[in-house]
């Protein structure tokens, strides 16, 4: 019996997955691809594993769409990238990694599954980089179209040790030129850098998202060594500037969130991420033949300088309202323990019996609205209508899938 494999979170039939790639609506289906090693349950030469869905709830695995088979990608593989529909065809822009270089490569498909790599690859190489930026760490293209031009966000390391999100623009994907450095990052430790830039738009405002490797911890910020952070602002593509409006925030206050992929469809933004971390070395799921999982797909809204996440309809979420009656209260959801400190409005989350915790603060803790999905080993928690969100993994060997709720110093007022 597969007691660890979730029912609603994407997992591979076998092998390893990490970053989601190429999230797009095309030919009547949602498509999502994952970084994938089909040969082992650990990271290895990267392929793109393809999944399709009609509703972002139920997905079908349809096989490998990209594999490393060219000089520019055959050594370490087809790294992360994104997708866009152009004239009825699906184009993916991905990072090819080989011979110590990371270059940007293009592939096109008529059906979303079988791709032909461009004879012009790589379409962005060392000659296209601004001075001081390194081809050895130049990856994760996010492509979008605005104002009649194609634009691509890319992560890249500078020779002086910091890293940046670069903007390239062009009339098509074969004629992209460097435009500007949008944002730079100086606090990544131990050789870390920014990765996986992403962007969601809401009118004339946007949120620039990015994944960080080992950023310097700042109080309760960056408790994870591999977090997703974001900044809300306004992007001027003509000038090549991103004008920040507000503070930098983390997307998820839990344990496992990395490498977002977003899609805007009919005015709504949808988002997914790798629900894991590079800090996890042993996956109990390897005994079931796989390792790695994606988060549930969620709607993302910009409110003020924050992104608020919400579960989709029919996402199997459950909701409770917890009334806090003591200065220190505890709520247990199966194996997840949530501790509430009423005086300082602090929330702590951990697995039962573990010393490893994450904490954050809410504006009001007298009554706490919690929406949750407990999908075997994958757990997602939403607090106060999206004020905070927390993802974690529970690999406990409990045959029961029932979520038993226990309280101390609080009570459920609408189960």
Give the model confidence (pLDDT) of 266-282 as tens digits: 999 999 999 999 999 88
pLDDT at 140: 98
Q: Residue 142: name the closest of 129, 131, 155 by CA.
A: 155
Q: Residue 354: name the closest of 386, 303, 394 by CA.
A: 394
pLDDT at 338 over 80: yes
Fold of 15-311: Tachylectin-2; Chain A (2.115.10)
The ranges of the chain annotated as CATH 2.115.10.20 are: 15-311
Given the residues 19, 73, 198, 394, the one annotated as active site: 19
Q: Residue 70: name the closest of 34, 117, 114 by CA.
A: 117
Banded pLDDT at 1 (limits 50, 70, 90): very low
The per-residue pLDDT of the chain, averaged, comes to 96
In this structure, are residues 359 and 346 in contact, taking their beta carbons and an 8 Å threshold?
yes
Helix (H) or strand (E) holding 93: strand 89-98
The predicted model gives 78-82 an average pLDDT of 98
Banded pLDDT at 402 (limits 50, 70, 90): confident
pLDDT at 122 over 80: yes
In this structure, are residues 365 and 345 in contact, taking their beta carbons and an 8 Å threshold?
yes
The ranges of the chain annotated as CATH 2.60.120.560 are: 318-412
pLDDT in tens, 234-268: 999 999 999 999 999 999 999 999 999 999 999 99
pLDDT at 119 over 70: yes
In this structure, are residues 70 and 121 in contact, taking their beta carbons and an 8 Å threshold?
yes
Domain 318-412 has CATH 2.60.120.560: yes
Q: Residue 370: name the closest of 324, 330, 405, 318 by CA.
A: 318
- Give the C-alpha separation, 20 to 9, whole Å: 12
The predicted model gives 164-181 an average pLDDT of 98
pLDDT at 126 over 80: yes
- Give the C-alpha separation, 415 to 403, whole Å: 12
pLDDT at 4: 83
Query: Is residue 19 flagged as an active site residue?
Result: yes
DSSP β-ladder status, 59-66 and 115-117: unpaired
pLDDT at 129 over 50: yes
The angle subtended at Cα 389 by Cα 320 and Cα 347, nearest 5°, is 75
Q: Percentage of residues in the chain with pLDDT exceeding 70?
A: 98
Is 290 buried (19+), middle (13-18) or exposed (0-12) by CB count in 10 A? buried
Q: Percentage of residues in the chain with pLDDT exceeding 90?
A: 96
């Amino acid at each position: 019996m597969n007691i660890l494999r979730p029912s609603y979170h994407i997992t591979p039939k076998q092998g390893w997955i990490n970053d989601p790639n190429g999230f797009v609506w095309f030919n009547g289906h949602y498509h999502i691809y994952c970084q994938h090693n089909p040969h082992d349950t650990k990271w290895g030469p990267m392929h793109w594993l393809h999944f399709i869905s009609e509703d972002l709830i139920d997905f079908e695995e349809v096989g490998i769409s990209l594999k490393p088979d060219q000089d520019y990608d055959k050594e370490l593989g087809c790294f992360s990238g994104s997708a866009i529909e152009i004239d009825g065809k699906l184009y993916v822009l991905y990072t090819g990694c080989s011979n110590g270089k990371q270059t940007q490569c293009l592939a096109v498909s008529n059906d979303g599954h079988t791709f032909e790599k461009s004879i012009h690859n790589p379409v962005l190489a060392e000659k296209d980089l601004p001075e001081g930026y390194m081809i050895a760490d130049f990856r994760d293209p996010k492509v979008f179209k605005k104002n009649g031009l194609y634009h691509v966000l890319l992560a890249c390391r500078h020779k002086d040790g910091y890293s940046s999100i670069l903007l390239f623009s062009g009339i098509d994907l074969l004629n992209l030129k460097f435009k500007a450095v949008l944002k730079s990052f100086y606090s990544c430790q131990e050789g870390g850098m920014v990765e996986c830039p992403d962007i969601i738009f809401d009118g004339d405002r946007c949120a620039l998202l990015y994944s960080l490797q080992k950023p310097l911890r700042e109080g309760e910020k960056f408790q994870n060594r591999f977090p997703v952070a974001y900044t809300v602002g306004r992007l001027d593509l003509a000038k090549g500037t991103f004008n920040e409006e507000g503070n930098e925030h983390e997307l998820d206050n839990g344990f496992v969130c990395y490498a977002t992929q977003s899609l805007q469809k009919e005015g709504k933004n949808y988002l997914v991420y790798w629900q894991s971390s590079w800090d996890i070395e042993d996956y109990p799921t390897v005994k079931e033949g796989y390792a790695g999982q994606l988060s549930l797909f969620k709607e993302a809204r910009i409110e003020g300088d924050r992104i608020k996440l919400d579960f989709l309809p029919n996402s199997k979420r459950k909701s409770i309202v917890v009334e806090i009656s003591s200065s220190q209260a505890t709520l247990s959801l199966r194996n997840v323990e949530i501790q509430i400190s009423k005086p300082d409005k602090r929330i702590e989350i951990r697995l039962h019996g573990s010393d490893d915790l994450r904490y954050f603060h809410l504006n009001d803790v007298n009554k706490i609205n919690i929406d949750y999905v407990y999908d075997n080993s994958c757990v997602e928690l939403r607090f106060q209508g999206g004020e905070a969100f927390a993802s974690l993994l529970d690999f406990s060997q409990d045959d029961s899938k029932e979520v038993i709720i226990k309280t101390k110093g609080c009570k459920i007022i609408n189960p």
